[in-house]
Amino acid sequence: MHSHRNRIDVDLYPKDDPGRASEIAYALGQGSEFEETFKYYADAVSPMLPTLPDGWNERLIKVDFDSGVAAWFLDPNDAAISKYARSEFRDREWIRAGLQAEILSLPTIEYRLRETVMETDERQRVKDAIAEDKQWLDTPEPPSSSLNM
């Protein structure tokens, strides 16, 4: 989930029927009755968009909803690789919140980084960001918004 000025979106890819992405975006997307009711919306994404480590699809987490719909979510550490690669401010905030909540593991992220195909400069940017977050975690009380980007 991402927050956009009090708006929350959930990245979504219709795995079994990719052609329905626009239909789903219309029904569940930004500005829909769904968003008005539940205060979050679906943001359709392509599976080719994120930078993910090998094996990510075997680590998907299935959640069955009462409506009979099943959703598959990225393992949080796999999602963190993609967010480090993009390194936008909100991605870095998401990572730090995950680290503080102990949902993410820097050792796991570093291990999976070795299994991730990316450009050399992108890999260096990710390594630098991870080093920054290690230092941030090692401070006595990590401040909530101390990104130096």
What is the DSSP annotation of 75-139? -HHHHHHHHHHH--HHHHHHHHHHHHTT-S-HHHHHHHHTT----HHHHHHHHHHHHHHHHHHTS
Q: Which two tokens mark 144?
A: 């909530």
Q: Is residue 29 part of a domain?
A: yes
- pLDDT tier at 17 (50, 70, 90 boundaries)? confident
Say yes or no: 91 and 133 in one domain.
yes
Number of H helices and number of E strands within the chain? 6, 5
Q: Which of 19, 51, 73 is the last residue of a domain?
A: 73
pLDDT at position 14: 76
Q: What angle do CA 107, 112, 114 make, to 5 degrees?
A: 105
As given in the structure block, the two tokens for residue 130 are 């991870």
Asked which of 44, 73, 102 is the last residue of a domain, the reply is: 73
Residues 65 and 15 in one domain: yes
pLDDT digits (tens, 9 = 90+) for 46-79: 666 678 999 998 998 888 887 787 788 889 999 9
List, for residues 76-127, the tens digit of each pLDDT value.
999 999 999 988 898 999 999 999 999 999 999 999 999 999 999 999 999 9
Going by pLDDT thresholds of 50, 70 and 90, the confidence category of residue 34 is: confident
69 & 16 share domain: yes
User: From CA 25, how far away is CA 32, in angstroms rounded?
Assistant: 8
Domain interval for residue 88: 76-137
Q: Are both 9 and 62 inside the same structural domain? A: yes
Place of tokens 């099943």: 70
Specify the pTM.
0.76
Tell me the C-alpha distance between 29 and 41, whole Å: 5
Dmax (CA) for the chain in angstroms is 49
What's the structural domain count of the chain?
A: 2
